[in-house]
């Protein structure tokens, strides 16, 4: 962690019992209580904090600030949940605001509570402290463009060679393709279109598309020995197939959305296909890294000399493709596959392995 704007901020972990701060010696009443706590410049692994210190005769004695930071869902005032995950930080008193930064205890998209004490270090090394300030709540942000590009570079490193493909496909239960049902809100009442639905919370915790971007999920990976889609699927025994050029062509932008694994050797890359000028395109253009549709490591659309389009996908990652617009069933075919439904391979709300060195960056999961 580091300090900005007016001085060097030295923050250290307080790993001993909390009584060292809460029952510090000295004249506690002399030290003013921080007021009007303000949180600003929030990122996925940092924030700025400032407050007002009222005039009092103890103000000039302040040497340090104690900051108590807790995840909201585990709020235990002034308690340590794990010896390696400190919630209380001690900082030398420097001009405010100060920046609190640290991916080892701040995670993206996570709600926290924070409160502050003023403190005066005594000659014997103990602290006299003020009462705690009011408790403020805030939520950390999604991955920024910088973080997503770091994730993109890691994904590019293992994508492998490109293999040709001709169709996108989507597996579901038989009922999904036959009738409108409360169980399938991603279908319209006339049962002729697949409608975009909000992406779940699978993958990286800081991905800006989770719980926000709407789309229809497709796959495109093929089997190495046949060049065709696999006959097994974790999502259902019936498959909708559509020619690749219907969804991916010169009027489609492609974006990198995420890179993750689920405690296995398989790695997944999420890509977004958005027709140029669509709402999905507008959402992605300010949040996700754009890829060259004919020259990237994951999914390519190239125009041949005769004007036709050819398509390739990366061999060594499993691609999850989100198309941001409704898809008419009449544009493809629905057939039953011959393989099994491999439920164990489903990525629905799957949690990313936070210990994987291949697909994690240093800003939380």
Higher-confidence residue: 45 or 300? Answer: 300
Decide: helix, strand or coil at residue 288. Answer: coil
Which long-range contacts does 359-362 make (Cβ < 8 Å, 24+ apart)?
359/151, 359/154, 359/155, 359/259, 359/260, 359/261, 359/267, 361/147, 361/150, 361/151, 361/154, 362/103
Per-residue pLDDT, 272: 98
Q: What is the pLDDT of residues 159-203, one digit of tens each?
A: 999 999 999 999 988 888 876 656 666 666 566 889 999 999 888
Q: Mean pLDDT over residues 296-314, rounded? A: 95
Tell me the CATH class for 35-140: mainly beta
Per-residue pLDDT, 349: 59
CA distance 333 to 184: 19
* Residue 141 reports pLDDT greater than 60: yes
Beta bridge partners of 38: 50
Pairing assessment for the beta strands 214-218 and 318-323 based on DSSP bridges: antiparallel
Instruction: Please report how many Cα atoms fall inside a 13 Å half-sphere around the Cα of residue 317, on the Cβ side.
Output: 30
341: left (phi over 0), alpha (psi -120 to 50) or beta: beta
Q: What is the pLDDT of residues 19-31, one digit of tens each?
A: 334 444 444 557 8
Nearest C-alpha neighbor of 328 from the set 170, 211, 182: 170
Contact 296, 288 (CB under 8 A): no
Mean confidence (pLDDT) of the chain: 83
Per-residue pLDDT, 181: 59
Per-residue pLDDT, 189: 55
- Alpha carbon of 140 to those of 109, 246, 274: distances in Å? 5, 38, 27
**Domain edges within the chain:** 35-140, 145-336
CA distance 254 to 270: 11
13: pLDDT confidence band, cut at 50, 70 and 90?
A: very low
Q: What is the pLDDT of residues 38-91, one digit of tens each?
A: 999 999 989 999 999 887 777 888 999 999 998 886 544 444 333 334 467 888
Q: What is the CA radius of gyration of the chain?
A: 26
Lowest model confidence (mean pLDDT) among 89-93, 154-158, 316-320: 89-93
Per-residue pLDDT, 188: 62
Q: Which residue carries 């900005």 as its tokens?
A: 4
């Amino acid at each position: 962690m580091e300090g900005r704007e007016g001085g060097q901020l030295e923050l250290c972990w307080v790993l001993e019992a909390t009584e060292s701060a809460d029952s510090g010696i000295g004249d506690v009443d002399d030290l003013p209580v921080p007021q009007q706590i303000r949180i600003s410049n929030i990122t996925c692994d940092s924030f700025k904090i400032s407050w007002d210190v009222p005039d009092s005769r103890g103000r000039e004695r302040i040497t340090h600030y104690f900051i108590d930071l807790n995840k909201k869902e585990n709020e235990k005032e002034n308690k340590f949940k794990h010896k390696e995950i400190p919630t209380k930080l001690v900082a030398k008193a420097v001009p405010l605001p100060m920046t609190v930064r640290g991916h080892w205890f701040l995670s993206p998209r996570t709600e926290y509570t924070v409160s502050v004490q003023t403190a005066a270090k005594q000659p014997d090394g103990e602290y006299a402290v003020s009462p705690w300030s009011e408790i403020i709540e805030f939520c950390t942000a999604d991955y920024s463009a910088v973080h997503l590009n770091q994730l993109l570079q890691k994904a590019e490193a293992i994508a492998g060679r490109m293999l040709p493909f001709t169709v996108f496909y989507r597996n579901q239960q038989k009922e999904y393709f036959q009738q409108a049902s409360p169980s399938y809100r991603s279908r319209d009442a006339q049962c002729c279109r697949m409608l975009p639905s909000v992406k779940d919370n699978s993958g990286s915790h800081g991905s800006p598309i989770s719980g926000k971007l709407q789309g229809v999920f497709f796959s495109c990976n093929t089997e190495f020995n046949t060049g065709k889609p696999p006959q097994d699927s974790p999502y259902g025994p019936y498959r909708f197939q559509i020619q690749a050029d219907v969804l991916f062509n010169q009027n489609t932008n492609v974006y990198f959305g995420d890179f993750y694994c689920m405690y296995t050797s398989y790695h997944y890359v999420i890509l977004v296909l958005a027709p140029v000028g669509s709402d999905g395109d507008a959402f992605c253009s300010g949040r996700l890294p754009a890829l060259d549709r004919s020259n990237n490591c994951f999914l390519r659309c190239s125009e041949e000399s005769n004007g036709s389009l050819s398509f390739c996908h990366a061999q060594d990652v499993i691609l999850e493709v989100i198309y941001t617009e409704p898809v008419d069933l009449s544009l493809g075919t629905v057939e039953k596959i011959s393989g099994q439904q491999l439920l164990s391979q489903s990525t629905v709300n799957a949690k990313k392995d936070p210990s994987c060195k291949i697909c994690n960056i240093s800003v939380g999961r």
